[in-house]
Amino acid sequence: MRFRHRAAAGFATLLLPFAGLVGLASPAQAATSATATYAKTQDWGSGFEGKWTVKNTGTTAISSWTVEWDFPSGTSVTSSWDADVTSSGTHWTAKNKSWNGSLAPGASVSFGFNGSGTGSPANCKLNGGSCDGGTTEPGDSAPSAPGTPTASGISDTSVKLSWSAATDDKGVKNYDVLRDGTKVATVTTTSYTDTGLTKGTDYSYSVQARDTADQTGPVSGAVRVRTTGGTTEPPTGDKVKLGYFTEWGVYGRNYHVKNLVTSGTASKITHINYAFGNVKNGQCTVDDTYAAYDKAYTADQSVSGTADTWDQPLRGNFNQLRQLKAKYPHIKVLYSFGGWTYSGGFGQAAANAAAFAKSCKAVVEDPRWADVFDGIDIDWEYPNACGLSCDTSGPAAFKNLMSALRTEFGPNYLVTAAITADGSSGGKLDAADYGGAAQHLDWYNVMTYDYFGAFDKDGPTAPHSPLTSYPGIPQAGFNSADAIAKLKAKGVPAKKLLLGIGFYGRGWTGVTQSAPGGSATGAAPGTYEAGIEDYKVLKNSCPVTGTIAGTAYAHCGSNWWSYDTPSTIAGKMSWAKNQGLGGAFFWEFSGDTANGELATAIDSGLK
């Protein structure tokens, strides 16, 4: 996990006892002459950095200031700077230092802190009065921040926004809806549909509550929305943001290429890996031809809004991806071969790597869909090691295969690989020449998830995607930081490494202990497979109860799950940027919410 360190005068790593707090300024001093506003400036999943800003909005000088607030249970200040911070239970108080208490009219001062937990401050008071400088009597607190809006029903010209309610000691009267920082509506409910928008355009929405005394609280977090339509390429930055689209998802999961548009996800990614092609008889081959290029889409199901006809040369997912690229020209699509189920054929493929590469290029460049794919991804689980089956092709086979693919595809195609994230000594990363193979690849998708799960039915419970090690982790080296460090040590450039995020959780049942490390009796029930469940289900069915090693866990009833959330993803993206990584990827799109909140967190975190 990542912490902010500050070498400034007054930096406090130990909090003073509440009994040491001196008297507060009188309520009459500040209720109408100053404001205190809060911002979360960093979030790394298990913790965050917060900042308060006090501003003198009156006409006379202020000689001192004291800010008070409440945190929910489980959230606390761990260190602070530029203020003396104390606590009594969940109530926190920050008082100016000797050198920053005086504020001339119009002047402002800020202090900051590192915190643990995920909560937000509530019931703010400044010198005993309202933090928003309103004219109400001292003690009438401003509303809390509403929940960050979620977006749904995105079209060319409209979007529906919904948010969780703010709280207030006297009652919330209404909400201001802000588009790109400007108020566009005031509503009394917790939803609003914004219309009259421009197609193919990015917008940012947040909301702010107002109480019965017309005090406004802090602005919520913002959600970015891109309307459908248009062909303007949205800015994506220099980081790769890649998601896997599963071929079979069009059946039971009812997840189609158009979902990338309606969820707003298409504007927040740079690449798609289409999974999976099969590897048979040493050659690449299309797996499910019906889903890939024959399934017909009606007008309302298709990206373009045009129905497929019986005699058109290309239908199915490939045609939908073609339509998606027409709307979002910045997206590149790679055909991914292998995966857990189809990796058994790579050993034979490696025996004649040149012939394998030639067969793969023939599939990717098939005249019916040659314009759809921009490269190839190899998901071999695992070279010279065991996955669903065991491979004994030797440590050089993987490098030789990648070299043959680069030779065949040339410099104008992307050539990538999804690889193990086993950072243990003598583990899977040491079984093949990943360092040597890297010279032939554009990047590695490092599968930094599935470290732990109910495949060990008795436990101990552990997060399946820990960012770092932690005391009691069941297996040394089974975490993202160790895997990335090992790959760097093998000579793989950081910019060729993408951090992996799972859009699902892994869970056990028969668990009585909330904290990680508990025993279990088997796999928790899942919609499609025991022990596995989509994030979009878990966020409601088993909400987060704690975080560890940069990821989240949840204990509900006898079930125990671990999964990533927007908050933990933000922390992981911050870590990835600090490591100089090339970006991030995720498995897979259909696990996300209908408004793509996990994809949004990756996009926002890599900017």
* Residues in CB range of 291: below 8 A, 6 or more apart: 247, 248, 250, 251, 316, 317
Give the per-residue pLDDT at 35: 86
Give the up-direction half-sphere exposure of residue 47: CA atoms within 13 A in the CB hemisphere. Answer: 15
Which CATH number goes with the domain that contains 160? 2.60.40.10
Same domain for 326 and 297, yes or no, is: yes
CB 550 within 8 A of CB 1: yes
User: Which one, of 421, 424, 330, lies nearest residue 381 by Cα?
Assistant: 421
22 band by pLDDT with thresholds 50, 70 and 90: very low
Pick the last residue of a domain from 202, 226, 250: 226
Of the chain, the percentage scoring pLDDT greater than 90 comes to 66
Which CATH number goes with the domain that contains 337? 3.20.20.80
513: helix, strand or coil: coil
Structure tokens at 580: 């100089």
CB 163 within 8 A of CB 190: yes
Sheet containing strand 182-187, strands side by side: 182-187, 172-179, 202-211, 223-226
- Residue 510, sorted as left (phi over 0), alpha (psi -120 to 50) or beta, turns out to be left
Same domain for 335 and 215, yes or no, is: no
Q: Where are the beta strands (DSSP E) in 71-221?
A: 76-81, 84-88, 91-95, 108-116, 122-126, 129-130, 150-152, 159-162, 172-179, 182-187, 191-194, 202-211
CB 501 within 8 A of CB 449: yes
Q: Please count the structural domains in the chain.
A: 3
Give the per-residue pLDDT at 140: 62
User: Which one, of 597, 563, 593, 528, lies nearest residue 248 by Cα?
Assistant: 528
Question: Is there a domain that residue 272 lies in?
Answer: yes
CB 467 within 8 A of CB 211: no
232 band by pLDDT with thresholds 50, 70 and 90: very low
Give the per-residue pLDDT at 17: 30
355 pLDDT more than 60: yes
2 pLDDT more than 50: no
Question: Is there a domain that residue 174 lies in?
Answer: yes
For the stretch 415-474, pLDDT in tens is 999 999 999 999 999 999 999 999 999 999 999 999 999 999 999 999 999 999 999 999
Pick the last residue of a domain from 226, 252, 283: 226
Cβ count near 180 (within 10 Å): 11
Helix locations, 142-288, DSSP H? 258-262
Question: Is there a domain that residue 217 lies in?
Answer: yes
Question: Is there a domain that residue 358 lies in?
Answer: yes
Structure tokens at 37: 């506003």
Instruction: Map tokens 């009833």 to a residue.
Output: 557
Phi and psi at residue 295, to the nearest 5°:
-60, 130
Judge whether 381 counts as a catalytic residue: yes
Same domain for 185 and 250, yes or no, is: no
Enumerate the β-bridge partners of residue 209: 175
Same domain for 349 and 417, yes or no, is: yes
Candidate from 236-240, 412-416, 498-502 with smallest mean pLDDT: 236-240
Question: Is there a domain that residue 293 lies in?
Answer: yes
295 pLDDT more than 90: yes
Q: DSSP labels for 346-382?
A: HHHHHHTHHHHHHHHHHHHT-TTTTTT--EEEEE-S-
pTM across the whole model: 0.65
Same domain for 187 and 106, yes or no, is: no
Looking at this protein, which amino acid is placed at residue 309? T
Q: Where are the beta strands (DSSP E) in 349-439?
A: 375-379, 414-419
Same domain for 334 and 433, yes or no, is: yes
Residue 485 CA to its chain's centroid (Å): 22
Same domain for 74 and 161, yes or no, is: no
Structure tokens at 182: 């400007």
Pick the last residue of a domain from 85, 102, 130: 130
> Which comes out higher in pLDDT, residue 5 or 344?
344
Give the per-residue pLDDT at 133: 63
24 pLDDT more than 50: no
For the stretch 167-181, pLDDT in tens is 988 888 999 998 877
Enumerate the β-bridge partners of residue 91: 70, 88
Omega of the bond leading into 276 within 30 degrees of 0 (cis): yes
Same domain for 284 and 433, yes or no, is: yes
Instruction: Identify the active-site residue in 49, 68, 247, 381.
Output: 381
Same domain for 106 and 51, yes or no, is: yes
* Residues in CB range of 184: below 8 A, 6 or more apart: 177, 178, 194
Structure tokens at 487: 């790959």
Question: Is there a domain that residue 582 lies in?
Answer: yes
Range of the structural domain that residue 117 is part of: 18-130
Give the per-residue pLDDT at 211: 83
236 pLDDT more than 50: no
Same domain for 300 and 356, yes or no, is: yes
Structure tokens at 460: 């101990």
Question: Is there a domain that residue 171 lies in?
Answer: yes
Question: Is there a domain that residue 480 lies in?
Answer: yes
Cβ count near 471 (within 10 Å): 8
Give the per-residue pLDDT at 5: 29
493 pLDDT more than 70: yes
Same domain for 273 and 359, yes or no, is: yes
Rounded mean pLDDT of 3-17? 29
Strand (E) or helix (H) holding 504: strand 504-509
Same domain for 184 and 216, yes or no, is: yes
Looking at this protein, which amino acid is placed at residue 235? P
For the stretch 300-351, pLDDT in tens is 999 999 999 888 889 999 999 999 999 999 999 999 999 999 999 999 999 9
For the stretch 81-132, pLDDT in tens is 889 999 998 999 999 998 898 888 888 899 989 888 888 888 888 888 878 7
Which CATH number goes with the domain that contains 125? 2.60.40.290
Give the per-residue pLDDT at 44: 67
Give the per-residue pLDDT at 55: 87
Q: Quick one: three-class SS letters along 99-133?
A: CCCCECCCCEEEEEEEEECCCCCEEEEECCEECCC
Omega of the bond leading into 382 within 30 degrees of 0 (cis): yes
